[in-house]
Chains A and B, each alone.
Chain A
């Protein structure tokens, strides 16, 4: 019987056109995600094969959830069919067993979704065969991965989802509510991924993600590309737990569906409602007296009005009527609640750095609302456009109301208004929620006006989308075709970006970005943003006019009738509106085109890459061409913030420090800047390349070795309208920040502008290149890695700005004056500095302090004062520690300058540290347990005054270790003094996690720390861990002494500049040989130490002490740059620790009973230790000082045996 039902379902499906369409859509999606470069959906990056087993598994896992968006149609459709077609009673009257019936219906839905997944898998496989794919990025077809993914992920997921939808469908008897359930599920699924940003909640995320994706990620997150390419996740641990959990849940869901299934036609009737209905029936008047035929019908005379006031009333009332009904409808409330839930999760778990939260500033809240609500707003707008346009028809009221003397525009305008009301209600709900969150966190600096602005600006986009949705509904004349068209639109929106069709002019509802900064507000971004919005709004009005022509009225929706009707409706007001809006559309479009394509150049993403390739092909030949070095810089910089204009008059003193005459001068300057004057010795122009901003001049008299020349220039930059991607964030109304690389002429070829991604390079026919010069490259040694243009220089600048602002640049303030209503500042550096400068201008508040004779100043936005004392404190402690342990501080001032959060970093210039408003200024450090990254970032940037501004690495591999890794180490030391080793352990866990997690994204190859090629995950993250371990091995004092000696040797020296070789030589020379293998492993190789405590038992001795038996496993693995691993013999000095903990206490309360270094040489070692108190935990490398890919298993809870 069951088989019969299933085959019946199968036949029905195969005859269903929609099913084939859905199969085709998903098959295509699968195909594209494998075969197209431009559809990057969870695919492999860098060295990971496109069809690597782990990639196939992740893709299939994600698809198994996403497919629910369409497979719900079938799963719920099959479950509901008998009720919708009212054949249920027929079925239930037959002797069919309930079990067979239900299993059959469930099985049908399950098979439908399985079929979809099989087609996706087929699409993936087919995609991987396409001839245009780079064969280097394809491995053999991983059949086992397909099988594994289906067995472990896809089939259980489909079972779970089918069971969930089946249950929802049987309970609610409503496709709508089932769909809402499906969407809710997708949302929760998405949300669970935000749990992964906090290290301590990752395991929860791995368990609660019903798709198993997070659990798989947890298993493979530290994999190298080689592992991605060859291995499958192990079915154990969290993954196994997750699978069992959700299979169990699926079984429960199915059981519930079977139990709650009712054969009658009513769905689940809630008790309350049943009662209400009964009560209503009871109060119904038993019998009204029949009206006597003689009674006269008497009605008051009323006027049917049609004036403007009447129309306004009608519009208002209908809009309110529709809005009220929608606001109270379950779908809206569900969407709103889901949105609020996402906001809550984002507030709780998102936006943290090292697990520390930000102050809930309104700007941040608006960002959260936007990010959390947009998905739901898309659903609400799409769904309610259909609901509202067809509301009268759905309720079977339309035939009556369509005969009313009501103009067509009133329902159209009312529905649109109701939709707009829904959008605003979503935002308002979100705003009230975040407002409560702010107040709940004791945050009272709320900005109501900003809320208002933010909501209106964000809502505009959705209102335009609403206009489109209403248009599609009205013109298509069918709710479901309207939905389908809207979905096609949304998919096309997503697809075209991937295909580099990114111009604003053909992408409905696109606009330029509108970043908000507390310092700069919406700044100049607002104008362009609103212009493009107006452009699309004009089209929206035209669409609405067309919608009005085709507004469904009357009983016939045949196209013939509607066209005739539309012609009849095309009267003067509509025609005029249509014409005017199209005219405005064309006019604004022309204006935008003029801005983006004529005043500026429109460079789509693929063209930008092509240009980068072209740049390399043309100019890389000059990479080693000797160019003069800058010996001194004098730049007069006039900043006009209100006009976003810049004028620079500069002078370089150039010297030929090589041993051959320099004949050609290669000058690089962004082509956006206007060169008004460029004067230097007699010369001719050999080649002027305006596209790449690369000009080759020939000196009439070559610059002889040792000779010097002057180089003067006058440069102007002014904004020229706006571009597709928005305008630049360097010159803004308040908070301008730019550096000399961006605005001053540079010399010679720069490798920074090259295409970095190997796949991009291959695509553009470029050879593989080392990212940096080899460590022993002699030319590289002669330049520092910041710039090849100069060594230690003198720097002087006069910078001016408008009277309301302060202008800053590195150097001591010599003089300050006002002239012509502008402020002038003259800065001059007194120590020798690297040619790396910045200029800033803003209206700041200044906090001042001193450390010895160093003036400390923090220039901050007036409302961002929270962490300023902490920055000052960190500065003092850093200067103190570094000058005591390393060398004296070379400047007499230390300035921190806040700049708008368009970028998120802090950067150390000489004595001057621009610091983004997004990172330190709004960190909420009121919780004493929070990791104080403000302290850390400040200390790190302070450390750069030594590690970069005193000693700078040569332009070869490993250079960043000498600046970034040493700055990390220095900051860690200051922080440890302040917060203790326990905080350090938490901090280092994040560092270790980020190092290990980012290895897989390596685009070329992983290198040892001392050879790293400006790879951030190595020089920051691994650098922290490595130096902390080194300090642990040789001691802080000795390491600091070595660093001080290194500074003595190399401070303010170069060329030639030091390399990591010089540092390591010193390190080896000053340490005992027994440390050398370990140092080598840390710095010159890629090594993992995997430690694990397997047995921890304690026995109470007669003297009251405890004998602890601890068995530990040790493993040492080395890997090459691509992740190929080799087991190595174990020989390591490692901490062994035993800890006590008060009852109910946490790790913070633990007491060390035993902690000592032991030498492990075996894969498994059993240790006998004696401690004084009852132990709680024992372990190997308990503080995670070594690079261990499973850091959670180093400790084990001690079991006490008798």
Chain B
């Protein structure tokens, strides 16, 4: 895969197991690629890990904490490890970070008592130590409630204003809401890279929706290019991709990034299915 990631939020969308985390870890210098290269502002990351790490901020997917340490002490500790060893600087930084991620009021509390959202905000604070030019955020919204998620995404959006932020997620809305650019990867390959708006535009007028009975579902899958089906009030609502009105009671709907995403996944599935048959 080959990706060019500019400043701002960059969404990395893909199903579980697509290779998002591997890609993120490789960029974060935690894993060696079998081959290939990563360049950060002209710096060869793989050859200069130490230099690259200084410009990195990374929030791993599975970010834990020491449950018995307070947020402030922990962030201070992380700041030392990152290299902010001047005491005054560090104090200011920790205060600013905690305020920015809105944990200032709870800074004395043990991390073990934090909710998932608070923990993720703490995680992003940790990643922001030392003004990284690249922030890597791996599936940060998984498991957050809607409000926490909202707050977290707002925070990311702010960071994205002057930093490269790679946000990996399998939640399409995260990308829709935030990212001016994105890539969809599946089965270890980049399926699509670019601006979400353009990707959506390419499907404009080709997405059709219908509310169906459960019994119909099988038939529809055979007859149409079904992108997704989801239950709405107990009945499946199906999105299909068609250049013209498929009739059959389908109604046109505006395309969304979700349709783009499912469209790409469908192509991956189709590409592998004949191979299996053969």
Please measure, in the bound complex, the distance between the C-alpha atom of A955 and the C-alpha atom of B32, giving whole angstroms: 83
The answer to whether A305 touches B83 (Cβ under 8 A) is: yes
B127 at the interface (CB under 8 A from A): yes
B2 at the interface (CB under 8 A from A): no
Please measure, in the bound complex, the distance between the C-alpha atom of A737 and the C-alpha atom of B151, giving whole angstroms: 83
Which residue among A283, A318, A325, A554 has the maximum number of chain B CB atoms within 10 Å of its CB? A554
Number of interface residues of B (CB under 8 A): 61
B273 at the interface (CB under 8 A from A): no
B202 at the interface (CB under 8 A from A): no
The answer to whether B154 touches A305 (Cβ under 8 A) is: no
Closest B residue to A280 using CB positions: B113
Please measure, in the bound complex, the distance between the C-alpha atom of A284 and the C-alpha atom of B103, giving whole angstroms: 11
Query: Which residues in chain B, 122-143, are within 8 Å of chain A measured between CB atoms?
Result: 123, 126-131
The answer to whether B84 touches A303 (Cβ under 8 A) is: yes
Contacting residues, chain B, for A301 (C-beta < 8 A): 131
The answer to whether B25 touches A290 (Cβ under 8 A) is: no
Query: Which residues in chain A, 168-213, are within 8 Å of chain B measured between CB atoms?
Result: none
The answer to whether B151 touches A290 (Cβ under 8 A) is: yes
Contacting residues, chain B, for A280 (C-beta < 8 A): 109-110, 113
Indicate with 1 or 0, residue by residue over A401-413, a CB within 8 angstroms of chain B CB atoms: 1111111001000
Given A277-B113, A291-B154, check contact A404 B85 (CB 8 Å): no
A300 at the interface (CB under 8 A from B): yes
The answer to whether A397 touches B93 (Cβ under 8 A) is: no
Given A405-B83, A554-B29, A561-B32, check contact A299 B96 (CB 8 Å): yes
The answer to whether B150 touches A554 (Cβ under 8 A) is: no
Indicate with 1 or 0, residue by residue over B143-166, a CB within 8 angstroms of chain A CB atoms: 000010011001101110110000
Given A555-B31, A556-B32, check contact A299 B58 (CB 8 Å): no
A313 at the interface (CB under 8 A from B): yes
A1073 at the interface (CB under 8 A from B): no
The answer to whether B85 touches A299 (Cβ under 8 A) is: no
A296 at the interface (CB under 8 A from B): yes
Contacting residues, chain B, for A561 (C-beta < 8 A): 31-32
Contacting residues, chain A, for B80 (C-beta < 8 A): 313-314, 317-318
Indicate with 1 or 0, residue by residue over A260-292, a CB within 8 angstroms of chain B CB atoms: 000000000000000001001101110110111
The answer to whether A395 touches B65 (Cβ under 8 A) is: yes
Expressed in whole angstroms, the minimum distance between the Cβ of B183 and any Cβ of chain A is: 21
B224 at the interface (CB under 8 A from A): no
Please measure, in the bound complex, the distance between the C-alpha atom of A310 and the C-alpha atom of B79, giving whole angstroms: 12
Closest B residue to A394 using CB positions: B64
Please measure, in the bound complex, the distance between the C-alpha atom of A288 and the C-alpha atom of B102, giving whole angstroms: 8
Among the listed stretches B49-57, B192-200, B226-234, which one makes contact with chain A, having 4 or more residues with CB under 8 Å of it? B49-57
Please measure, in the bound complex, the distance between the C-alpha atom of A299 and the C-alpha atom of B98, giving whole angstroms: 10
Closest A residue to B53 using CB positions: A405
Contacting residues, chain B, for A285 (C-beta < 8 A): 105-106
The answer to whether A555 touches B30 (Cβ under 8 A) is: yes
B62 at the interface (CB under 8 A from A): yes
A1149 at the interface (CB under 8 A from B): no
B239 at the interface (CB under 8 A from A): no
A306 at the interface (CB under 8 A from B): yes
Given A305-B84, A313-B85, check contact A405 B100 (CB 8 Å): no
The answer to whether B63 touches A397 (Cβ under 8 A) is: yes
The answer to whether B96 touches A310 (Cβ under 8 A) is: no
B241 at the interface (CB under 8 A from A): no
Closest B residue to A289 using CB positions: B102
Please measure, in the bound complex, the distance between the C-alpha atom of A401 and the C-alpha atom of B84, giving whole angstroms: 14
Closest B residue to A311 using CB positions: B85
Closest B residue to A565 using CB positions: B32
Contacting residues, chain A, for B275 (C-beta < 8 A): none
Query: Which residues in chain B, 49-100, are within 8 Å of chain A measured between CB atoms?
Result: 50-51, 53-54, 56, 58-60, 62-68, 77-78, 80-86, 89-90, 92-93, 96-97, 100
Given A290-B150, A317-B80, check contact A297 B85 (CB 8 Å): no
Please measure, in the bound complex, the distance between the C-alpha atom of A104 and the C-alpha atom of B121, giving whole angstroms: 46
Contacting residues, chain B, for A295 (C-beta < 8 A): 158
Please measure, in the bound complex, the distance between the C-alpha atom of A565 and the C-alpha atom of B31, giving whole angstroms: 10
The answer to whether B83 touches A306 (Cβ under 8 A) is: yes
Given A299-B93, A555-B30, check contact A281 B113 (CB 8 Å): yes
The answer to whether B161 touches A404 (Cβ under 8 A) is: no
B115 at the interface (CB under 8 A from A): yes
The answer to whether B154 touches A403 (Cβ under 8 A) is: no
The answer to whether A287 touches B77 (Cβ under 8 A) is: no
Contacting residues, chain A, for B110 (C-beta < 8 A): 280
Please measure, in the bound complex, the distance between the C-alpha atom of A318 and the C-alpha atom of B161, giving whole angstroms: 33
B28 at the interface (CB under 8 A from A): yes
Expressed in whole angstroms, the minimum distance between the Cβ of B27 and any Cβ of chain A is: 9
A302 at the interface (CB under 8 A from B): yes
Please measure, in the bound complex, the distance between the C-alpha atom of A50 and the C-alpha atom of B209, giving whole angstroms: 88
Query: Which residues in chain A, 667-722, are within 8 Å of chain B measured between CB atoms?
Result: none
Please measure, in the bound complex, the distance between the C-alpha atom of A358 and the C-alpha atom of B158, giving whole angstroms: 73
B113 CB contact (under 8 Å) in A284, A297, A304, A318: A284
The answer to whether A397 touches B65 (Cβ under 8 A) is: yes
Contacting residues, chain B, for A441 (C-beta < 8 A): none
Closest B residue to A324 using CB positions: B69
Please measure, in the bound complex, the distance between the C-alpha atom of A935 and the C-alpha atom of B189, giving whole angstroms: 92
Interface of A is mostly: loop
A321 at the interface (CB under 8 A from B): yes
A399 at the interface (CB under 8 A from B): yes
Contacting residues, chain A, for B151 (C-beta < 8 A): 288, 290-291
Contacting residues, chain A, for B56 (C-beta < 8 A): 403
Please measure, in the bound complex, the distance between the C-alpha atom of A401 and the C-alpha atom of B131, giving whole angstroms: 16
Indicate with 1 or 0, residue by residue over B10-33, a CB within 8 angstroms of chain A CB atoms: 000000000000000100111110
Which residue among A296, A309, A314 has the maximum number of chain B CB atoms within 10 Å of its CB? A314
Query: Which residues in chain B, 182-225, are within 8 Å of chain A measured between CB atoms?
Result: none
Given A295-B158, A400-B60, check contact A302 B128 (CB 8 Å): no
B53 CB contact (under 8 Å) in A277, A299, A403: A403
Please measure, in the bound complex, the distance between the C-alpha atom of A295 and the C-alpha atom of B158, giving whole angstroms: 8
Given A297-B159, A302-B90, check contact A400 B123 (CB 8 Å): yes
Which residue among B31, B83, B150 has the maximum number of chain A CB atoms within 10 Å of its CB? B83
Contacting residues, chain B, for A401 (C-beta < 8 A): 78, 81
Closest B residue to A399 using CB positions: B60
Closest A residue to B51 using CB positions: A405
B106 CB contact (under 8 Å) in A284, A297, A306, A400: A284
The answer to whether B123 touches A310 (Cβ under 8 A) is: no
Contacting residues, chain B, for A299 (C-beta < 8 A): 93, 96-97, 100, 128, 131
Indicate with 1 or 0, residue by residue over A613-626, a CB within 8 angstroms of chain B CB atoms: 00000000000000
Contacting residues, chain A, for B84 (C-beta < 8 A): 302-305
Closest B residue to A293 using CB positions: B154
Please measure, in the bound complex, the distance between the C-alpha atom of A292 and the C-alpha atom of B62, giving whole angstroms: 27
Closest B residue to A407 using CB positions: B50
A298 at the interface (CB under 8 A from B): yes
The answer to whether B96 touches A298 (Cβ under 8 A) is: yes
Expressed in whole angstroms, the minimum distance between the Cβ of B153 and any Cβ of chain A is: 9
A453 at the interface (CB under 8 A from B): no
The answer to whether A399 touches B32 (Cβ under 8 A) is: no
A564 at the interface (CB under 8 A from B): yes
A284 CB contact (under 8 Å) in B30, B59, B115: B115
The answer to whether A397 touches B66 (Cβ under 8 A) is: yes
Please measure, in the bound complex, the distance between the C-alpha atom of A310 and the C-alpha atom of B28, giving whole angstroms: 23
B77 CB contact (under 8 Å) in A291, A298, A304, A321: A321
The answer to whether A300 touches B113 (Cβ under 8 A) is: no
Please measure, in the bound complex, the distance between the C-alpha atom of A317 and the C-alpha atom of B161, giving whole angstroms: 33
Expressed in whole angstroms, the minimum distance between the Cβ of B219 and any Cβ of chain A is: 38
Given A280-B110, A314-B80, A400-B127, 18 further pairs, Cβ under 8 A: A284-B113, A285-B105, A288-B102, A293-B157, A297-B161, A299-B131, A300-B93, A302-B129, A306-B83, A314-B81, A397-B66, A399-B62, A401-B81, A406-B83, A407-B50, A554-B29, A554-B31, A555-B31
Q: List 16 A-B contacts (CB under 8 A).
A: A281-B113, A284-B106, A290-B154, A291-B154, A295-B158, A296-B158, A302-B131, A305-B84, A317-B81, A318-B77, A400-B58, A400-B59, A400-B63, A403-B58, A404-B83, A405-B83
Lowest 9 CB-CB distances: which A-B pairs, in order? A396-B64, A304-B83, A399-B60, A405-B53, A297-B158, A554-B30, A310-B85, A280-B113, A313-B85
